[in-house]
Amino acid sequence: MPRASCNPPSSVGKAFIVQEAIHADWISRHETREDAIAAIEEMVRDGVVDRGEFNVREIDDVGNSVRVFSVPCTP
């Protein structure tokens, strides 16, 4: 999966960024939390990454971090 810069794009609007859990390098940007989680779950299912390698950073309309959360384990 190609990576861009280490910082999320600076466009305006609430977003959910999939990022590496350790270094916070961003991987992809999504409009909803569900889409961001689905992207991580797909990578785990495909065997590309292990669960826990990535988390999601929620940013507000001006680009400030609101929170960071991990993807819940699924049965």
> What pLDDT digit, counting tens, does each position of 15-67 carry?
999 999 998 899 999 999 999 999 999 999 999 999 999 999 999 999 999 99
Q: What are the angstrom distances between the C-alpha of 31 and each of 15, 47, 48?
A: 5, 24, 23
- Which of 18, 11, 26 minimizes the C-alpha distance to 44? 18
The residues spanned by each domain of the chain are 15-70
- What pLDDT, on the 0 to 100 scale, is given for residue 4? 42
Can you tell me the distance from the alpha carbon of 12 to that of 15, in angstroms, rounded to the nearest whole number? 9
